[in-house]
Amino acid sequence: MELAGTKILRPLFSLLDHIPQHYFVDESKNTAEQEKVLSLFTLLQQSEINANASWKLKDNVLDSRDSRNSRSMELKVQWFSLQQEKAGVTDQEKLQTHILELISLTGKNFLLTLDPAMDSNLLAGLLVAQLPRNCSQLNKYFLMVEGSNRPASSRTSVEFKEQSSQELQHDFSLFQADYEKIIADSRMAVQEDHNYYGVSSSLQNNFARLLDEYRQATAKFIALHQQSITQQVDLAEYLAVNKKARVSCQHLFVAGVEELDILITKRIASYRKWQVFALICSAMAILLASALIFTIANSITAPIKAVIGYTRKISNGDYQARLAGDFQGELNGLAVDLKGMVHEIIRLASFPRENPNPVLSSDSSGVVTYMNHSAEALLEKLQIDVETFLPPDHRHIIEACLASGRN
C-alpha cells in the first residue's frame, strides 16, 4: 500500500516544483512546459486510479467512481484556470497550499508515516511535510521577487525590508525550522538505517550526498535572505541562490522517495521471509504435536490391545499365553493384577481339568458346556454320547438345584 502512495507523491511534488517556471516561462517555451505539466497530471491520475483499483480505497486522493469530482481533477482545473487568468502571487500561493494538502493527505491515506522502522518513518515524515513545505516556501520567495520584478525589468536589487511584516517573519521562522528538522531527521534516518532491515548503500551514499548539497544551498539562501531584510542584495544573485536551493530540495525529495521505496520493499521482503518462517515453524509444531499425540496414544492403546488379546486367549483355554508389552504407571498395576487373576483362574481350573474322575458342567438349561479329559476318555471308551451318559432327567435335577440354591 505504501508503494502506491509514493507513486502519487512523485507527480504531486513535481507539480509543486513546476509552479515558478510554469507561470513565469518565456513564450517560446510555453508549449513544452505545458506538455510537461499535462504529463504530470496524467501520471498523477493514473497512479491514483491504480491505487484505488488495487486497494479499493474509499477516501483517497482520487475517487475513481467519479473522476470529474476527484481532487486531482480539481487541482488540474485550478492550475490551468490560473494560467488563463494570469494569476498573481496570492493565487499561486493558494495553488501551492492545495498541492501541499494533497501531499499530506496522500501520506495519511497510504499510512506512509506509520512505518514501524525509524529510518523509513523519518524519511516518510519529511517527504509528506517538511520538504514540500520547504520547496513551497522557496517558490513563494521566488514568486514574490520575480513577480514584483516583471513590470520593472530594470530592477537589479531586492530588499525585503519594506515587506518584513510579522507574517513574513513568521513564515521565514517556520522555513528555518523545517530546514533544521529536515537536516536532523535525515541524519537520524541515515544513522538508524543499520538497526532495521540492513544497511542501504544508496541511503548512506547518494541520499547523504544530496542532503549535504541541500544543506549548503539552503543555508546560503537563508543567509542571503536574512541579509536582504537589512540591506539590498543583487537580484540576479538572489534568484540564482533561490533556484539552487529549490533544485537541491527537489533532488533530495526525488532521492528520498526512491529510498523510501527501497526501504519499504526491504520491509515487505523481511515480513514475507518471517511469514514463511512462521508458517514453517507452525507446520513443524503441528507435526511434532501430531507425533507426540500419536506416541502418547500408542503408549496407551498398545498395552490395552495386548491385554484384550491376552484375555481372549485365556478365555479360549490357552493357559500358556503370556501378557507381553511395555506397561507404565497405572497400566503396569493393571497388568500385575490381571496376571494374578489369570493365575488364580488357571489354579482353580486345574482341579476339574486334572481330576481323575469324570467332571462335567452345564448351563442353566442343562446343556453341557465342559468335560474334563477323564469324561471325554470314558465316553470314547463306552462309545456313547454325553446325553446317553447323563441321567434322562438331568435337566430337571439342574433346575431343581438352581431353584433350591443347593448343589
Across 47-51, 259-263, 399-403, least confident range: 47-51
Name residue 80's amino acid: F
Task: Look over the chain and give the mean of its residue pLDDT values, rounded to a whole number.
Answer: 81
Residue 133 reports pLDDT greater than 60: yes
Domain ranges of the chain: 1-114, 358-404
- Can you give the pLDDT at residue 221? 95
Residue 151 reports pLDDT greater than 80: no
HSE value, Cβ hemisphere, 13 Å, CA-based, for 305: 7
- Can you give the pLDDT at residue 195? 82
pLDDT tens for each residue of 201-232: 888 889 999 999 999 999 999 999 988 888 88
Higher pLDDT, 281 or 117: 281
- Can you give the pLDDT at residue 75? 83
- Can you give the pLDDT at residue 14? 86
Across 134-143, 168-177, 203-212, 320-329, least confident range: 320-329
Higher pLDDT, 20 or 109: 109
- Can you give the pLDDT at residue 58? 45
Backbone φ, ψ for residue 147 (5° rounding) = -65, -40
As given in the structure block, the three cell numbers for residue 194 are 543499520
Backbone φ, ψ for residue 148 (5° rounding) = -75, -20
Instruction: Name the pLDDT band for 147 (thresholds 50, 70, 90).
Output: low
Candidates 206, 221, 73, 207; CA nearest to 135 is 221
pLDDT tens for each residue of 267-278: 878 878 888 999
Higher pLDDT, 171 or 87: 171
Residue 64 reports pLDDT greater than 50: no
Across 25-34, 241-250, 345-354, least confident range: 25-34
Percent of the chain's residues with pLDDT above 70 = 85
What is the three-state SS of the chain?
CHHHHHHHHHHHHHHHHHHHHHHCCCHHHHHHHHHHHHHHHHHHHHHHHHHHHHHCCCCCCCCCCCHHHCHHHHHHHHHHHHHHCCCCHHHHHHHHHHHHHHHHHHHHHCCHHHCCCHHHHHHHHHHHHHHHHHHHHHHHHHHHHHHHHCCCCCCCEECCCCCCCHHHHHHHHHHHHHHHHHHHHHHHHHHHHHHCCCCCHHHHHHHHHHHHHHHHHHHHHHHHHHHHHHCCEEHHHHHHHHHHHHHHHHHHHHHHHHHHHHHHHHHHHHHHHHHHHHHHHHHHHHHHHHHHHHHHHHHHHHHHHHHHHHHHHHHCCCCCCCCCCCCCCHHHHHHHHHHHHHHHHHHHHHHHHHCCCCCEEECCCCCEEEECHHHHHHHHHHCCCHHHHCCCCHHHHHHHHHHHCCC
- Can you give the pLDDT at residue 60? 45
Residue 2 reports pLDDT greater than 80: no
- Can you give the pLDDT at residue 181? 94
Name residue 387's amino acid: E
Instruction: Name the pLDDT band for 55 (thresholds 50, 70, 90).
Output: low
- Can you give the pLDDT at residue 67? 41
